[in-house]
Structure 1
Amino acid sequence: MVGAETLLLFALAAVAVVVAVRWFAGRTGLPAAAILPVLGIVYGLLPAPDITLEPEILLTFVLPPLLYSTALDASLMAIRRNVRIVVSLSVILVLITALAIGAGFHHLVAGASLAAGIAVGAAVAPPDPVAALAVGRRVGLPQRLVTIIQGEGLLNDATALTILSFASAAILGDKFSATAAVVRFVVAAVGGAAVGAVVAVGVGMLRPLNRDPLTANAISLATPFAAYLLGEHLHVSGVLAVVVAGLVVGHHAPRAASGASRLQTSAVWRLVDFLLEGFVFLYIGQQLPDVLQGLRRYETSTIVTAVLVSVGSVLLIRPVWLLLTQSLPRSLHSRLGTGQHAGKLTGREVTALSWAGTRGVISLAAVFTLPIITPDRDLLLFCTLTVVLVTLVGQGLTFGPLVRRLGLRADAVDEARLRNEARSASVRAALERLDDLAVVIGEKPGRRSAEDAAAEMEAIQVMRGLLNQRLARYQGRIDLLQNAESPEMPVSPRYEAALRVRRAAMDAQREELLRWRDAGTLPDEGLRVLERELDHEERLLPERPSR
C-alpha cells in the first residue's frame, strides 16, 4: 500500500516529467505521447515504489474527462458529414479487429481460448487519437482527416467495451448468444446516446448559471462524470453518453455561455487534458516491468506468437479495411455526406489514416478489467501493453514524417481566407445593427431625452468608424490571400508592423502599471483588473503575425 506522502511525491515528480517532456517535445517536434511511455518504462525498472491503480479508477475518473474534453472541441456537423466512414472505423473495424485477434489466438496460440482472444482483441481494437491528433495538427493535417480521426476516437471506445463485456462473460462460463449480443449492443449504444442527449439538455437548462465563469467551470467539470455514472447505472454505454453529451454541449456552447465563461472553461479543460494525458502515458510505460514478471511460465514461442497475432492484426487490418471500403463504387461514396468533406478518400489520405491508429489508456484500462481467473491473463496483459507501446512509440514518432512525405497539408491560405470572410460578414452584420439602432433612435426616441439620444447617436458613429476600420483591414487581408500564388501564408508588412506596434504598446502599459503598483499608488487588486483587460486584448492577437 502506497502512503499518502509517497503518492504526493510521485504526483509531483510526474508533473515535473510531463512539463519537461512538453518543453522537449516543443523543441524537437517529437510527440509527447510517444516519449512519456518510454520514461515510464525507465521509472518502472528503477528500485522505486510503483503506483498501481484499479481499472475502475481509470475508467471512471480518467476516461470520462478526456473523452468529454475531446468531444467539446470536436465538430458535430463535421462528424455528421463524415458519419459513414466514422461509423465504419469506430464500430465495424473494431468488431472485425477483435474477432480476427480472437480467431488468431484460438488457432495459433497454444492453450488460448476464443473468448480470451476476443477479449484482448477488444482491448487493443480502439485507437486513441491523442498522439495522432497532436502530431497531425502540428504538421497541418487536412481538417477532414482530423475530423475522421477525432470522430473515430470518440465512438470506438463504446464498441470495444461492449465487446469486452461479452468476452468476459464467456470467459466466466456464461452461454454466448449472437442474437442477445447484438440486441445488447444496440440497447447499450442507443441508450448511451439517449442518456448523453438528456444530460446535454439538462446542462442547457442551466444556461443562466453558465454566465458566471466559476459556475460554468463547475458545471462543465461535473458533466462528464454525471453522464458516465448515469449511463452505467442504467446499464447502457456510459462512454457513449459522455461523448454525445460533449458533442451536443460543445455545439451549443457559443449560444449557451458568456464569452468570459468560454475562455475560462477552455483554459481549465486544456489544463485537465495536459495533466491527465501526461500521467496516463507515464503510467502505461510503468506497467511493463510488472507485466513481464507474469510471463515466466510461458514458452518463448507462445509469447512471440501471441504478440505477433496482436500487433500484426492491429497494424494490418486497418489499412486493408480502409482500402476495401474506399474501393467501393464512387456512387456509394457520394452518400458519405455533402459539401467539401464528401466523397472517397485519396490514396494518400488512406495511407495517413492507416498509420493514425495509436492505442492508449482505454486499451490498458480495459484489459485490466478482465477477471483474475481469466486463463492466460498475464499473456493478454503483455500483448495489450505491447500493442500500446508499439503504436504509441512506433506510429507516434513516425506519423509526422509520414504526413510530410505524403504532402498532406491543410490549405492554410484558404482557411485563413475563409476566417477573414467570416470576420467581414460579422462586422457587416454589426454595421447593419447599428443602422437599425440609429433609425429607432431617430424615429422613436421613446423616453430618451434629447441629450441621451445625441449621446447614443455619437456612440453609434464612433463604433461605426471602428467597425469600418476593422472591415477595411479584413478586406485587405482577403485580397492578399486571394492573390497568393503559393500555398505558403503571404506576408503583409503593414499587418505585421501593426501587430508589433500593438504588442510594444501593451508592454509599455504593463510596465507602467507595475511601476504604479510598486510605488504604492495602485493596489494589487486594481493591478489584476487592469492586467486582465490587457490580457484579453493580447489574446485577440494571433500567435504568428502571418495568420
Structure 2
Amino acid sequence: MNAAIVLAILGVLVIATATALAPRVNIAGPLLLVIVGLGVSLLPFIPAVEIDPEIILVGILPPLLYSAAVSLPAIEFRRDFGPIAGLSVVLVVISALALGLFFTWVIPGLGLLSAIALGAILSPTDAVATSIVKRLGLSPRVVTMLEGESLLNDATSLVLLRTAIAAVAAGGAVAVGEFVGAFAWGVVVALIVGALVGWANLRFRAWVGHSAANTAVGFAVPFVAYLPTEQLGGSGLVAAVVAGIVTGQGSARWFTAEQRLSDTLNWRTVELVLEGAVFLIMGLELKDIWNENVAENDGPLRAVWLALAALAIVLVVRTGYVALIVLLQGRRARGKQRERLDEFGARLDAFEHDDAPLPAHRRGAHRERRIASLRKRLTRSLADLDYYQASPLGWKHGGIIVWAGMRGVVTLAAAQTLPRETPSRELLILTAFLVAVISLLVQGFTLPAFARLLRLPPENDALTRDEQDRIDDELRAAATDALTRPGLHRRDGTPFPPDLIQRVGSRLAEPPDDDESLAHRDGLELRLALITAMRVRLASLARSGIGSAALRHALAELDADELSLRLRLDGEE
C-alpha cells in the first residue's frame, strides 16, 4: 500500500513537471510523458508494469471525455456535425474493414472477425492532437473537427470491437444487420441516458448550491452516465459525452458564477492528471508487452513491420476520406446558399408586411410566433454560412486533419481486452501498442513542422470581432431594458432608489467603473442586478448564430464581474 501511494505521488509530480516543461522545450505534454515512461520502463531495476485495461476504459476515459465535452464549442460542433460524424463512424468502420482484410492476409489462422477486431482497435484517433493543433494556433474549425472526432470515434471502435469478439465467441457468424442494430441500439441508449443524466445534473446541482458539494456531485456525473448505459448494452462513453455537452450548454442558465469557475478549474486539473497518467502508463507498459512478444514470437521485428504497414493503411484511408470531406465542404461554402437565403428573407419580409386577409389558422399570435421562428432560423443559417465562408476547409486544412489522426489511449487499452484464446494475441497487442506509440511520436513531433511547411494563412478574426461587438450591443441593450422595467431590486428584495437608476441609465454608454454613483453599496447591488439581466440576454444569443468562443468570453467576463462585486459587497458587511 505504501509503495502504491509513493508511486502515485511520484506520478503526479512527473505529470506536473512534464506539463510545466513541455512549453519550454516546445513539445506537447502527452508526448513528453510517453518518452519519460518509455525511458523509465527500460531501466533494469524497474519491474514490468501491467495495468488492467478496465481501469482505463471505465475509470479514466469517462471523466476524460466528459471533461472535454463540457468545454466543447457546441455551436461549431453543430455546424460541422456531418463531417465529424463521418470521421467518427464511417471512417472508423472503413478503416477497421481495410485493416481486417490486411491482417487476415498476413497473419495465418487469425480469422476475419478477429482481424476486424484488431482493425477496430487501431482505428480511433486520440485527443492529444487537439492540444497540439491548439498550441500551433491553427484554424479553430479544424480543432473542433478533431476534438469532435476524438470524442465520438471511441464509441464506434469499442462497439465494433465488442460485436466482433461476441461473434467469434458465438462461432464466427454475424450478420450485417446485427452489427448495425447493435450499433444503433448502443447510440440511442447512450443519447437517452446521457441527456437524462445531464438534465438531472443541472437541476440537482442548482438545487444543492453548496460549492464543495457541487464539486463532489460533478465528479460522479460521468460514471453515473457510463455505468447504467453499459448495463443496458449501450455505449457508456457516448453517454458520458452527451451528459457533458448537456451540462456545458446548460451551465450558463443553471449554475452560479462560482460553480462555473470551480468546474473549469477542477476539471482542468482532473483532465491534466488523468491524461498524463494514461500516457505515462503507455510508456511504462512497454517492457512487459515487449517481453511477452519476444517469448511468444521470437522477436519483435514482425510486430514492427505489421505496425508500420497498418499505420500506412490508416493514413491512406484517412487521406482519401478527408479529401472527400474537403471537396464537399468546399462546394458547400461556394454554393448558391446565400442567394437562396436572401430570396427567402425577401419573401419573409413580404409575408410579414402583407396586410391582405389571412386564413384563421395564420392570424394573430400564431402568425407572429411563426414569423419569429423563421427569422431565427434565417439568422442562424446566415451566420452558419458566414462561418463556412470565413473558415473554409482547403487541402492544407485537410492535410492537418490527416496528419493529426494519431492513435493513443483507446488503442492501448482496447488491445488488452482481446480474449486470451485469440490467435497470436501477444503479437496483436504489441502491434497495436507500436501503432499508438509510433503515430504519437512521429506524427506528434512532426505536426508543427508539417504545419509550417504548408504555410497555412492566419485565421481571419473579423467575424469574431463582429460577434463581440454584437454581444456588447445586446448586453448594453439588456441593461437598458432592465433599468426601464419595474421590479428591479436588490438581493434582499428591496427596490433601488429611483435617482440611482436614473443616473446609471443616463451614463450607461460609459464604462461603469468611471461612474462615481456606482461606488457605494446600492451601486454595487444595481450592477449585480444588471449582470443578471445581461446573462439572460446572453443565453438567448446562443440561438442566434454567434460563435461559442465569443459567447463564452462574454460569459466569463460577466462571471468575473459578479464575483468581484460579491467580494466587495461581502467586505462591506
2: CA distance between counterparts of 1:162 and 1:71?
20
Note if 1:35 corresponds to 2:84: no
Q: Write out aligned runs for 1:389-538 (5 A).
A: 389-406=437-454, 407-412=456-461, 414-416=463-465, 418-437=467-486, 455-458=497-500, 461-462=503-504, 465=507, 468-469=510-511, 533=567
When residues 92 and 341 of structure 1 are mapped into structure 2, their CA distance, relative to the original with a 3 A threshold, is: farther
Aligned length: 465
Give, as a single letter, the amino acid of the residue that structure 2 aligns with 1:346.
Answer: G
Match of 2:84 among 63, 86, 90: 86
Give, as a single letter, the amino acid of the residue that structure 1 aligns with 2:251.
Answer: A
Give, as a single letter, the amino acid of the residue that structure 2 aligns with 1:298.
Answer: N
Gaps of 5+ in 2: 338-380, 516-562
8 Å CA contact 1:355–1:395 kept in 2: the answer is: yes
Render the CA deviation track for 1:418-458: whole Å, top value 9, x for unaligned. Answer: 33542343133213322335xx78xx9xxx9xxx8783532
Which residue of structure 2 aligns with residue 312 of structure 1? 312
Give, as a single letter, the amino acid of the residue that structure 1 aligns with 2:297.
Answer: Y
Which residue of structure 2 aligns with residue 545 of structure 1? none
Q: Alignment partner of 1:293: what SS?
A: helix
Which residue of structure 1 aligns with residue 188 of structure 2? 190
Note if 1:324 corresponds to 2:366: no
Render the CA deviation track for 1:473-517: whole Å, top value 9, x for unaligned. Answer: 9xxxxxxxxxxxxxxxxxxxxxxxxxxxxxxxxxxxxxxxxxxxx
- Offset at 1:26? 1.9
8 Å CA contact 1:139–1:409 kept in 2: the answer is: no
When residues 171 and 200 of structure 1 are mapped into structure 2, their CA distance, relative to the original with a 3 A threshold, is: same
Give, as a single letter, the amino acid of the residue that structure 1 aligns with 2:322.
Answer: L
Q: Write out aligned runs for 1:103-122 (5 A).
A: 103-122=101-120
Which residue of structure 1 aligns with residue 121 of structure 2? 123
Which residue of structure 2 aligns with residue 256 of structure 1? 254
TM-score (norm 1): 0.78
1: CA distance between counterparts of 2:414 and 2:264?
29
Q: Alignment partner of 1:295: what SS?
A: helix
Which residue of structure 2 aligns with residue 339 of structure 1? 385
Match of 2:282 among 284, 291, 311: 284
When residues 159 and 176 of structure 1 are mapped into structure 2, their CA distance, relative to the original with a 3 A threshold, is: same
8 Å CA contact 1:59–1:365 kept in 2: the answer is: yes
- Offset at 1:112? 3.0
Which residue of structure 2 aligns with residue 8 of structure 1? 5
Q: Alignment partner of 2:46: what SS?
A: coil
When residues 20 and 117 of structure 1 are mapped into structure 2, their CA distance, relative to the original with a 3 A threshold, is: same
2: CA distance between counterparts of 1:350 and 1:532?
47
Which residue of structure 1 aligns with residue 422 of structure 2? 374
1: CA distance between counterparts of 2:114 and 2:514?
65
Which residue of structure 1 aligns with residue 538 of structure 2? none
1: CA distance between counterparts of 2:473 and 2:330?
37
When residues 424 and 65 of structure 1 are mapped into structure 2, their CA distance, relative to the original with a 3 A threshold, is: same
When residues 290 and 231 of structure 1 are mapped into structure 2, their CA distance, relative to the original with a 3 A threshold, is: same
- Offset at 1:331? 5.4
8 Å CA contact 1:144–1:341 kept in 2: the answer is: no
2: CA distance between counterparts of 1:434 and 1:97?
59
Give, as a single letter, the amino acid of the residue that structure 2 aligns with 1:229.
Answer: L
1: CA distance between counterparts of 2:188 and 2:496?
59
Q: Write out aligned runs for 1:157-306 (5 A).
A: 157-172=154-169, 173-206=171-204, 208-209=206-207, 211-296=209-294, 297-298=296-297, 302-306=302-306
When residues 453 and 190 of structure 1 are mapped into structure 2, their CA distance, relative to the original with a 3 A threshold, is: closer
Note if 1:356 corresponds to 2:404: yes
8 Å CA contact 1:128–1:153 kept in 2: the answer is: yes
Q: Alignment partner of 2:510: what SS?
A: helix
Give, as a single letter, the amino acid of the residue that structure 2 aligns with 1:469.
Answer: P
Give, as a single letter, the amino acid of the residue that structure 2 aligns with 1:435.
Answer: T
Among all aligned residue pairs of Structure 1 and Structure 2, give the percentage whose two residues are the same amino acid.
Answer: 31
2: CA distance between counterparts of 1:134 and 1:361?
15
Give, as a single letter, the amino acid of the residue that structure 2 aligns with 1:240.
Answer: V
2: CA distance between counterparts of 1:270 and 1:409?
28
Q: Alignment partner of 2:511: what SS?
A: helix
1: CA distance between counterparts of 2:275 and 2:414?
17
2: CA distance between counterparts of 1:97 and 1:225?
30
Q: Alignment partner of 1:206: what SS?
A: helix
1: CA distance between counterparts of 2:192 and 2:496?
54
8 Å CA contact 1:139–1:404 kept in 2: the answer is: no
8 Å CA contact 1:123–1:366 kept in 2: the answer is: yes
When residues 42 and 532 of structure 1 are mapped into structure 2, their CA distance, relative to the original with a 3 A threshold, is: farther
8 Å CA contact 1:424–1:471 kept in 2: the answer is: no
When residues 408 and 33 of structure 1 are mapped into structure 2, their CA distance, relative to the original with a 3 A threshold, is: farther
Q: Alignment partner of 1:369: what SS?
A: coil
- Offset at 1:205? 3.1
1: CA distance between counterparts of 2:260 and 2:401?
32
Render the CA deviation track for 1:118-159: whole Å, top value 9, x for unaligned. Answer: 122111211112x22112222212121111111111111110
When residues 210 and 49 of structure 1 are mapped into structure 2, their CA distance, relative to the original with a 3 A threshold, is: farther
8 Å CA contact 1:89–1:152 kept in 2: the answer is: yes
8 Å CA contact 2:322–2:398 kept in 1: the answer is: yes
Alignment RMSD, CA only? 3.0
Give, as a single letter, the amino acid of the residue that structure 2 aligns with 1:222.
Answer: A
Of stretches 300-309 and 110-119 in structure 1, the one that deviates more from structure 2 is 300-309
- Offset at 1:70? 0.4
Of stretches 304-313 and 238-247 in structure 1, the one that deviates more from structure 2 is 304-313
- Offset at 1:462? 4.7
- Offset at 1:109? 2.9
1: CA distance between counterparts of 2:222 and 2:62?
5
Give, as a single letter, the amino acid of the residue that structure 2 aligns with 1:280.
Answer: V
